[in-house]
Structure 1
């Protein structure tokens, strides 16, 4: 073997040895990042009482990292709704909510100047700095991979499924108040820091000193507000009810509830007014028909049961074939409810055959078409030799 051949063989052997090592390192990193994401997910979903001392220490660190003196006062409220209301009361001087006024008075607050919002320095700038530093270290591809591993699922579960529906509901609730005070409540939501729900992205920058203060507050408390002279912090929820997709979902009380009594009712991720939630256990066909809001009617239908609604509402059988029966019932102000009744081809343990219903598009003409649609096929494509 000449020298060049020997050198090539040695280089190839070294390369072959490095590849498994790189793959093993990549697997180890992926596992570590996944574990980190799960830890922050747990933080974002925590229902433990706030660690007030830990949260206040985090606030002081966040202000110091922003080059600001610590706030002269730190106030605590029982929920994001109460926190936003307290901000509105202190900004406007209006009496606002009696319970919030009582909570402020218990902390010795009667007239207090918030000062300007320092959210841009305390929350926006550290986030941007941490993101820029990580992107510079890892490059565009490396950053995208790191973000996907540490933040994609927490963001979907905590921001999309929790923080956004909560904020939407509060915006609607404050809008219903109206006037100067309602606008002040809505404006307060522009300055909020998500606290524990910032766990959605903090896992991507777990050891970055720029976000140390934010991370400490997120690990200890709920939503909060940063002002020049005052920080307003809130408790974490005492209960979070979700479905198997992570959406807020509960048919017997609020899906998200806080220690001060504030709660967010939701069904399959759809926020709903408390008065409608209270009606769910006693729904009737007539009540569902009277509902003018199409989204709320769909919530009612899902809770009531589509098959039950068909049975009790006088649905019309429009077609049948060997694949099932096609049923249709009109819904006032909405598209009709069309479903295929199917007999399961597989027997239950007791030898009976279960009947179930598939909701299909309103233009479905045959049961075969409806069953095919449920598999993402056309009627011609759907020709099973044996049904299961």
Structure 2
């Protein structure tokens, strides 16, 4: 969809709003948030809510659960506080929030938009606003997921008990008179843990609003509803300084944004020496390049022996003891890989006492340095892997995963680098179900484990993408499907097409009929036209597959958003 150009006036307004957003996000002010809510309510002729603050989503989650579902325990205990509790414990239903309710503009900023806003104009402004103020990384899935899990299955019971007691005390102090607080706390602590009730609570949480959505709504709609600039809209005081929150009848449970957020080179949550996201009360989430990790795998870090050789079930058990049940299902291998990356491949090699399979060899680029190749234990990736390690010099300890059939440390250190030759690229390979395209977007953002260049050049009908990897005169070809699987096809595009042609011919010959004969003819014509030499014997085919598989760990594909590795699939599906 082509986007409309943005006027200079609109751009200046967005830039001004974005600066105000960033200033308020950098210095969260509870008083400003409370004033914003009060203004929203009063403008609708309603009394402002009582706002109770908590330092983290975990504390807010505990308090919201106690408020929503603890009343029955007060009733069972015959507590005089039960009536007062019931008066405030009715949540504001998400689906019923609509104008003129004051929360409509907070939960759905889009409701501030004029109804006749052209879609292209809206999209243009939204993209421009997102460039100015991207959505904070900490508002993603794992922070709230861990808040819920740790509230139910605490990895650190002592910390959880302190946080739970403080959250309930803050709630009772705010909602109950002094003479009812002392006996209400123990009764609320007996509120049973119920999976279905937690599910309701999670669905009722209001997440921090996306900056671009708020800024676009303010620019297009807010100023029309009030006499003045959108700079003074209550939403611009609330949204930048508010974490997850829960609205109840006359009461609003609010949480602060985190006090620390750390990101890595891809802009995703990442930290090597502590939680990537930390809140004022100590609740935090540990992530390694966006992949959630058990805290002990980050600080102090697991030993090389445990990382390399612990059975998969033990890795899963240790991780779930800290992260909660069912948090590590099919990605125990990713936990292992990330723990190894956290320790470092050079440290893994040294601590495991691995012997080089080639080298040490003098490094021609750095006289004070030497290079050596090592085979890593197979459990690390679930298949063979090899790493080249530089020792001495300015880059001591630098490592690179390389193909397992490389036996020259110097050549391995230069893999996927060097001067690039002009790329041979055929015009049409549709006979192999490949469509050459420009401006390809895979179903999700991905990157290579070593950080080398990844260039999409063709697509496959079911949502797959073909990539050229790295630099240098030969660029291996990697295929990523739309369901989390990947496969290396050859050391360059010609090798990849030859392997694909051989597989396509075999597949068509197995089901030969008139239609298949046309497909076979098209593939054979492509082979002649491109001067391809597909493997023609089982031995040649096996050798091509082995050559591609040797590159598979060094070309591991990572989901940038989640930090998970694609599953390597050696077949053609």
Contact 2:40 2:234 in 1 (8 A): yes
Contact 1:71 1:228 in 2 (8 A): no
Structure 2 matches for 1:1-150, cutoff 5 A?
A: 30=11, 33=14, 36-37=17-18, 39-41=20-22, 43-44=24-25, 46=26, 48=27, 50-63=28-41, 69-70=46-47, 72-93=49-70, 113-120=88-95, 121=97, 122-123=103-104, 126-131=108-113, 133=114, 136-137=116-117, 139-150=118-129
* Partner residue in 2 for 1:327: 374
Measured in 2, the distance between the counterparts of 1:260 and 1:277 equals 20
1:303 matches 2:342: yes
Measured in 2, the distance between the counterparts of 1:76 and 1:93 equals 19
Contact 2:372 2:390 in 1 (8 A): no
1:173 matches 2:150: yes
Contact 1:251 1:267 in 2 (8 A): yes
**1:165-211 C-alpha deviation (Å, 9 max, x unpaired):** 3123224435647973454344323222234x543532223343279
Structure 2 matches for 1:248-327, cutoff 5 A?
A: 248-280=269-301, 283-289=302-308, 290=310, 291-292=315-316, 293-315=332-354, 317-318=356-357, 326-327=373-374
Which structure's residues are more often helix, by fraction?
Answer: 1
Q: Structure 1: state its 5+ residue gaps.
A: 1-22, 97-104, 383-388
SS of residue matched to 2:253: strand
SS of residue matched to 2:88: coil
Cα distance change on mapping 1:353 and 1:224 into 2, 3 Å: closer
Deviation of 1:309 after TM superposition, in Å, equals: 0.9
Q: 1:202 is matched with which residue: 206, 214, 228?
A: 214
**1:17-36 C-alpha deviation (Å, 9 max, x unpaired):** xxxxxx9x856755664564
Contact 2:304 2:351 in 1 (8 A): yes
Measured in 2, the distance between the counterparts of 1:70 and 1:331 equals 64
Measured in 2, the distance between the counterparts of 1:378 and 1:258 equals 42
1:193 matches 2:198: no
Deviation of 1:148 after TM superposition, in Å, equals: 1.2
Cα distance change on mapping 1:78 and 1:28 into 2, 3 Å: same
* Partner residue in 2 for 1:10: none
**1:100-136 C-alpha deviation (Å, 9 max, x unpaired):** xxxxx9xxx86653223244422577423235x3x84
Deviation of 1:77 after TM superposition, in Å, equals: 1.6
TM value normalised by structure 2: 0.48
Q: 2:401 is matched with which residue: 359, 370, 380?
A: 359
Q: Structure 2: state its 5+ residue gaps.
A: 74-80, 98-102, 155-190, 317-331, 365-370, 418-451, 454-468, 476-573
* Partner residue in 1 for 2:173: none
> Could you say what the CA RMSD is over the residues aligned between the two structures, in angstroms?
4.2
Contact 1:317 1:326 in 2 (8 A): yes
Cα distance change on mapping 1:327 and 1:380 into 2, 3 Å: farther
